[in-house]
Structures are given as C-alpha cells and as structure tokens.
Amino acid sequence: MLAIDGETKLTGIIGYPLRYTISPAFQNAAFEHLGLNWCYIPLVVEGDALKKAIEGIRALNFAGVNVTIPYKEAVLEYLDELTSTAELVEAVNTILVREGKLIGYNTDGRGFITMLQKDMEFDPKDKRALIVGAGGAARAVAVSLALEGCAEIYILNRTRERAFDLARAICNKFPYCLTQAIDFEADLLNIFNRVDLIVNATPVGTDISTDETPVSPDLLNEGHLVCDLIYSPPETQLLKEAKRVGARAINGVGMLLYQGAASFEIWTDAEAPIEIMRKAIFEALELKER
Ligand code: NAP
C-alpha cells in the first residue's frame, strides 16, 4: 500500500468524467513497485474550471498530471511551454511542472508507435496506413506515423471536412508523407488493398450491444495489421472480423500502457516498470468488465 505523507509527490489525471479511468491503477502500481513515495489521483474538473484547476496544479506543487477528454486541446493556452510533438498534435496529455513552469507533452502518439514496434514488431517506416476518424486520437496517430516516416496516410471520417482538415495539416507539416482524406463513397476496396495498417480512431465498437464496425469487414484482408484504439471491450467486432480473415489484430491497451509509461518517465526520470503496469491494466479492465 502507498503510504501518503508530507513528502509524497503528487500526480493525477484531469478530465471529465473520470468514472472509468484506469490510469490511477497502473500509475500507482508502478510507483509502489519501484518504492517511490508518489501517488496518482483522479482530478475531476467540471464546466469552466479548467484554468483554476491548472493554476491549482502549480499552487499545490504537483510534479505533473495527465490531461484527458475533454481538455487535451483546451489546456494548451494555460501552459508555459510545449514540446515540438505537442505543438504538432495541438493537444497535450501530459504536463510536467518544472521549477514552477508548466510544460505540455503529448505521449499518445509515442504510445501508439511503441505498441506497434514492441508488441507487433511493425515498423511504420515506408508503410501505408489508413486511419478511421479525425479527432484527437486520429491526429496523434497521424502525426506519429508521419514522424516515423510512413509513406502514405489515408484519413476516412464520418464528417468529411474534419478528415480534409487533418489531411491538410499533415501534408503541410510532413510534405514527404502522401496524406489524403477519403470519404465513404471512394473506391475503398482499392485503398484498403494498398495499405498495410488500419487504425480505428473512432469509438465505434465500444458498445457491446451492437456488432457495429467502423468500416465494412469485407474490406479487410490477411495482409493487414488492424489496430483498434478501443481497449474496452478488449476485442471489438472489428478485431474479431480482422482475425476471421487472417489479419493481425491488436487493441488499444498497448497505446494506453506506453503513453502512460512515457508520462511516468517524464515525471519521475525513472524507467517505467512496463510489465507491472501492463498487469495492473489487465486487472483493472477485468474488474471493469465484470
Ligand atoms: P474524438 O476527438 O471525440 O474523435 C472521435 C472521432 O470518431 C471523430 O472523428 C468522430 O467523427 C468519430 N466518430 C464518433 N462517433 C462516431 C460514429 N458513431 N460513427 C462514425 N464515426 C464516429 O475522440 P478521440 O479522443 O479521438 O478518441 C477516439 C477513440 O480512440 C475513442 O474510442 C477513445 O477511447 C480511443 N482512444 C484510445 C486511446 C488509447 O490509449 N488506447 C487514446 C486515445 C483515444 P466526426 O468527426 O464525424 O464527429
């Protein structure tokens, strides 16, 4: 058990609502495993209280915090500095407090890439990817793939304009990566046959009462690596369909784990105990699924 005293270093997660967050479970498991006198708590911030909450982080001497939905973009204006990745993604999921300054990082994309590399032995360099969705997660994934030298990125989204906006932003920042927005009327089979990696960055599949998939399963083939950023349920209908056609399939646990591990390392300067954190995530998810 963590013993909290006057020396305990504070971290946590700012968001709303935080009913289902499992970050406290795996961050505290990591602190405990390494014998660090640190703790990680949920910080529920409602309505227009974000500015005050961020000032509170500074005033209360927090070592840092994570930021989640719906504040990853809104928090930018309250920070003193941004890393180049956070600037590219235009969103922050990790704040480090250093000498009273608030520094914004984005570790979501790094988490996604580490998951591909470590858990799937997939190197995005010179590969072709298709992302379904054009929200915050899609943006972090697209930037990180472009940074890794991905050759082509296709963005498919329910709201066409958002796909075009994201594709334009990636084209402007990474001219060597051919990025194109497509819509559901396009020749999808042709594009799916061209790509190596398919990423679901929409919440479609979260609701287990339906067998909805973000794209038609008929478009999948055995050459694909299909990655669903959803981690609860652990196997969405999309992942089931991917496995059925012989494709490789992975859920979003790895991204959650590695983005959290990167935050942990930014705050503590200690190496994150990955397997301890992974085990704590599985235990927390198991409790949640019950
Ligand atoms: P977001 O910013 O709200 O974006 C959601 C995206 O999904 C938008 O492109 C939206 O399309 C699309 N979408 C929403 N409902 C849809 C529906 N019913 N049909 C088709 N498209 C729909 O959310 P986000 O932060 O990017 O998160 C997206 C997903 O990734 C969530 O499931 C989240 O849990 C997951 N995620 C996982 C991790 C991880 O660590 N594993 C990290 C971040 C996010 P429109 O533009 O048309 O609204």
152 CB under 6 A from ligand 1? no
134 CB under 6 A from ligand 1? yes
Q: What is the mean pLDDT of each run of 10 residues along the chain (290 residues)?
A: 88 95 97 97 96 97 97 97 96 96 98 98 98 96 98 97 97 96 95 98 92 97 98 96 98 98 98 98 85
Whole-number Å distance, alpha carbon 125 to ligand 1 midpoint, is 25
Bridge partners, 154 (sequence order): 130, 180
Hey, whose CA ends up nearest to atom 20 of ligand 1? 158
So what's the pLDDT on residue 210?
A: 87
Whole-number Å distance, alpha carbon 9 to ligand 1 midpoint, is 33
Residues assigned a catalytic role: 72
So what's the pLDDT on residue 20?
A: 87
- Rounded to the nearest 10 degrees, the angle between the axes of helix 23-34 and helix 253-268 is 50
Whole-number Å distance, alpha carbon 200 to ligand 1 midpoint, is 8
Whole-number Å distance, alpha carbon 145 to ligand 1 midpoint, is 18
108 CB under 6 A from ligand 1? yes
So what's the pLDDT on residue 47?
A: 87
So what's the pLDDT on residue 229?
A: 98
* CA dist., res. 272 & res. 265, Å (int): 6
Closest ligand 1 atom to the C-alpha of 259? 40
Hey, whose CA ends up nearest to atom 13 of ligand 1? 202
So what's the pLDDT on residue 1?
A: 61
159 CB under 6 A from ligand 1? yes
Q: Which of 229, 236, 239, 282 to mutate to test the pocket of ligand 1 (most atoms within 8 A of CB)?
A: 229
Checking phi first, is residue 42 left (phi over 0); if not, alpha (psi -120 to 50) or beta? Answer: beta
137 CB under 6 A from ligand 1? yes
226 to each of 29, 103, 116, 239, 248, how far by Cα in Å? 30, 33, 11, 7, 6
Q: What pTM does this model have?
A: 0.96
Token match 């304009």: residue?
161
156 CB under 6 A from ligand 1? no
So what's the pLDDT on residue 102?
A: 98
